[in-house]
Amino acid sequence: MYVKNAWYVAAWEHEIEDGKPYAMSILNEPIVLYRAGESRRIVALEDRCVHRLAPLSLGRCEGEKLRCMYHGLLFDADGKCVEIPGQDLIPAKARVRSYPVAPRAGWVWVWMGDPARADEALIPDALHIAEPDWIFGTGYMDYDAEARLIIDNLLDLSHIAFLHADSFGSPPDYAEQRPVQTALDRGFRLDRWITDVKGPTLNPTDDLIDQWVTYDFFVPGVLLMHSANFARGTAKACDFKKPDYTDALAGSLAYTSHAVTPMTTKTARYFYTWAPHKNHGTVESRDAAMQFQLMALTEDKWMIEGQQKIIDLEPDRPLMPISHDLTVTMYDRLVARMVKDDDDPTKRAA
């Protein structure tokens, strides 16, 4: 179950090159993205010519327009067919769907629902990858699994102590010390202190420290996280609330953003970043952290794709919830309400 009236990440902005159509699928809908002429604005159209259903992503950019290279039909940036070679009359129905697009934070966001309800204010407020105070690395990987399984994984980070013991090196305490959950508009915030532990793989130390992690998670699957290490006793001193980041131990303050996009029923694309603060890292330390993150994401992928194969053997078999599933359950209920809102005829465009 996925929300239609939401912004989904379709690509990194730098991936949409001049003169090169870019193919992507979101919610089982084939989409082609391209930069329109001199304006270089990004256009998103249905990747399916009205004539023989050939993919327009195999077509040719012609200024603001996109030509199907099977039989030459030409479409404008609104999806209307404006030329059929050898035919003067162009039927009114000769058009493909166009999607609202918004470049933001280095990502290209596409609105999959009612265009009249597309509101850029609903795009999660991620830091831009060109933000000068942070040293960003970016990437993505594809999963042969449902996006919802990846979302569940991100909503319950208690698995870090077990699945990622070889990568991030987080202590077993990570699963024992519970996060504080706060409801947000279209999502949740989770704050977690881990106290009296040794520094993890990314920031090893023999001294006991306190670790802080906070992240916002928004529909349809966007995580925005800050993390840092602090001197032992900091959590208690600030009453287990948000610390002052200027007190973070050297080399530990970092930001990461993730976006999960359902491509088809059983495939998803996972976009991710990692960025140390400029006062806490370098390009070299960023690259090392990106390698650790890639290792952790590969561990996730290995587990989640294995989980999908088991689920497929008996799709209706119920899961057994545990206490760590609270945020997953709350998120599922939020999505269910939003899907119901998607289907509300009183809120559709005339």
Ramachandran category for residue 302: left, alpha or beta (phi over 0 → left; psi -120 to 50 → alpha): alpha
CA 105 to chain centre: 12
Contact 173, 194 (CB under 8 A): yes
263-272 pLDDT, tens digit per residue, is 999 999 999 9
In sequence order, the β-bridge partners of residue 23 are 32
Helix, strand or coil, per DSSP, at residue 337: helix
Cis peptide before 262 (omega within 30 of 0): no
> Cβ neighbours of residue 338 under 8 Å, at least 6 residues apart?
3, 5, 6, 186, 219
Contact 260, 10 (CB under 8 A): no
pLDDT of the residue at 168: 65
291-324 pLDDT, tens digit per residue, is 989 999 999 999 999 999 999 999 999 888 887 7
Residue 140 is classified by DSSP as E
pTM over 0.85: yes
Tell me the domains of the chain and their CATH numbers: 7-122 (2.102.10.10), 137-336 (3.90.380.10)
Output the six-digit token pair for 195: 């106290």
177-209 pLDDT, tens digit per residue, is 778 999 999 999 999 999 988 876 666 667 899
